[in-house]
Chains A and B, each alone.
Chain A
């Protein structure tokens, strides 16, 4: 069943079409990969879906409900949460307090929120950092903190914007395991990623964006063997 339907979404900034006429469905319990060259409109699409920008045209339907124009906080309360490519830790708060902010979306009790937060901190294996200030964490742990904080809002779908960007291979591997763990728990995910090996491993389906338009969609194998995708990334071959 499609939990998230993107229908003919376009987003214009003045005369520039950052997204034009993008459509696809994300099915429950699966991981949808979203790839494309720099400037293809991946993050803009995330912003349109999660309420940071209203789409100029088209519809975003989540769990049968139209989201267009709904604020990010309402979108979060409905069960859709995103992380940020450029991480946004609440720098002067400790790790556990960061995650508690997420948990407080679902409960008014600090005690309960703390328990929920600790649970998610365990999921991302950061127990040893519980009382560290978020601002002082290295990039790998900031990325994991983003995920923990998002998970604490108890979403139905998680949108990850380049969680592996800037990480070393060992850290990336850890994140891949984390994403697969989260999938095991039945959570739907949509992942923007540049690391092709990683995206091939984790995605059930992949959508390719280029210049704001959907180029193709399919299983990882279908996508990498598509000549259009190769030329979008590497350019036209010279005869």
Chain B
């Protein structure tokens, strides 16, 4: 009982903290980092429902992310439809795409499903490149001028600073965590996990496999599309590689693999590791730090080498990280934490 009170107190404190951060933090860079973090958590949670709970390891979530982003951006760019309306069109488009993909790919199991999911995302990427009249092809769509968001006559926000994006991102995080919590504590969560653990056994227990896989996919795809739309309007630019590329799919999946698949807090933990890590490497923060504490001379050969190459090293580091996680904590960080907690409990007894 005490533990639940403690937990909810901590939750409320954390949430209030997150809500008031923009009042005290003015640095756009810090807010940008937070927004990237939120985006990553939302992506991870979305994937987690299909990949973590229902056990269908999609390596093609870029398809849903990209369709959401593209639909919103295309409507805003060519039809002047405001994004908060365009988002719904994105959702509708993604549901159609998800159901088509689901009805085809869910006939396959395991690695065959993985391959099919990759293929579908690649089809989407190539379509985006080649349907130039619709998507502007490889050039992408640039739409940085966001119309002000009005309720009646009052302008709620005009999207000049990063603050409104911060709150939208936070809302997405809360939404995706909320949906995951709801799934976990409903019939759906049990059915998804039964399918993950043993599809034939689940089938014999009265679970309509095709139906529940498609439900998992649609929930997952809709949330991913929301994240995609948010990415589009935040960055103001989409092109095929950045929203439909294979690395987008892989990145989404990694958040969960590293954080812990099929757990509520896994994607949060995964994002807390991956986002700062990739940012630190990408922005040459590590090299600067090494120079500052005097380990490396900025003008020496090593210094120049690091400056030139370390920013590309985040992909390498991801690879190493994944290998380590799979070797030493196959259930991700969350699984590792749980195991430690169990061990402590056992030792206490």
- Residues in chain A within 8 A of chain B (CB atoms): 50, 52, 71-73, 76-77, 81-82, 84, 88-93, 97, 100-102, 104-105, 108, 110, 113, 149-150, 153
B203 → chain A, closest Cβ, in Å? Answer: 4
- Contact B191 A101, beta carbon cutoff 8 Å: yes
Q: Check: B186 CB closer than 8 A to any chain A CB.
A: yes
A selection of 7 A-B contacts at a CB cut-off of 8 Å is A82-B204, A90-B202, A91-B198, A92-B197, A101-B202, A105-B205, A113-B190
Residues of A within 8 A of B205 (CB): 73, 76, 81, 101-102, 105, 149-150, 153
Chain B, Cβ-Cβ closest to A92: B197
Residues of A within 8 A of B206 (CB): 73, 76-77, 81, 102, 105, 153
- Contact A73 B190, beta carbon cutoff 8 Å: no
A198 → chain B, closest Cβ, in Å? Answer: 23
Chain B, Cβ-Cβ closest to A50: B204
Residues of A within 8 A of B190 (CB): 97, 100-101, 104, 110, 113
Chain A, Cβ-Cβ closest to B210: A71
Residues of B within 8 A of A108 (CB): 187
Residues of A within 8 A of B187 (CB): 104, 108, 110, 113
Q: Check: B193 CB closer than 8 A to any chain A CB.
A: yes
Given contacts A73-B209, A104-B187, is CB(A90)–CB(B194) below 8 Å? yes
Residues of B within 8 A of A150 (CB): 204-205
Residues of A within 8 A of B209 (CB): 73
Residues of B within 8 A of A76 (CB): 204-206
A71 to B205, CA, bound (A): 11
Residues of B within 8 A of A91 (CB): 197-198
A73 → chain B, closest Cβ, in Å? Answer: 5
Given contacts A73-B209, A104-B187, A108-B187, is CB(A93)–CB(B204) below 8 Å? no
Residues of B within 8 A of A73 (CB): 203-209
Chain A, Cβ-Cβ closest to B207: A73
Q: Check: B201 CB closer than 8 A to any chain A CB.
A: yes
A199 → chain B, closest Cβ, in Å? Answer: 23
A124 → chain B, closest Cβ, in Å? Answer: 16
A48 to B336, CA, bound (A): 43
- Contact A110 B208, beta carbon cutoff 8 Å: no
Residues of A within 8 A of B201 (CB): 84, 88-90
Q: Check: B200 CB closer than 8 A to any chain A CB.
A: yes
- Residues in chain B within 8 A of chain A (CB atoms): 185-187, 190-191, 193-194, 197-198, 200-209, 262
A104 to B191, CA, bound (A): 8
B319 → chain A, closest Cβ, in Å? Answer: 27
A50 to B200, CA, bound (A): 12
Residues of B within 8 A of A101 (CB): 190-191, 193-194, 202, 205, 207
A101 to B187, CA, bound (A): 8
A192 → chain B, closest Cβ, in Å? Answer: 15
Chain A, Cβ-Cβ closest to B202: A101
- Contact B186 A90, beta carbon cutoff 8 Å: no
A50 to B208, CA, bound (A): 14
A128 → chain B, closest Cβ, in Å? Answer: 15
- Contact A93 B197, beta carbon cutoff 8 Å: yes
A203 to B186, CA, bound (A): 40
B152 → chain A, closest Cβ, in Å? Answer: 40
Q: Report which of A72, A97, A110 forms a contact with B203, defined as CB distance below 8 A.
A: A72
Residues of B within 8 A of A89 (CB): 197-198, 201
A90 to B209, CA, bound (A): 15
A104 to B194, CA, bound (A): 11
- Contact B203 A90, beta carbon cutoff 8 Å: no
Residues of A within 8 A of B191 (CB): 101, 104
Most chain B CB within a 10 A radius of its CB, from A73, A82, A97: A73
A153 to B206, CA, bound (A): 8
Chain A, Cβ-Cβ closest to B211: A73
Instruction: Enumerate the 6 nearest inter-chain pairs by beta-carbon distance, A residue then B residue, closest first.
Output: A105-B206, A76-B206, A90-B197, A88-B201, A72-B203, A101-B194
Residues of A within 8 A of B198 (CB): 88-91
Q: A73-B209, A90-B202, A97-B193 are in contact. List 4 more A-B contacts (CB 8 A).
A: A72-B204, A89-B197, A92-B193, A101-B207
Q: Report which of A50, A77, A110 forms a contact with B185, defined as CB distance below 8 A.
A: A110
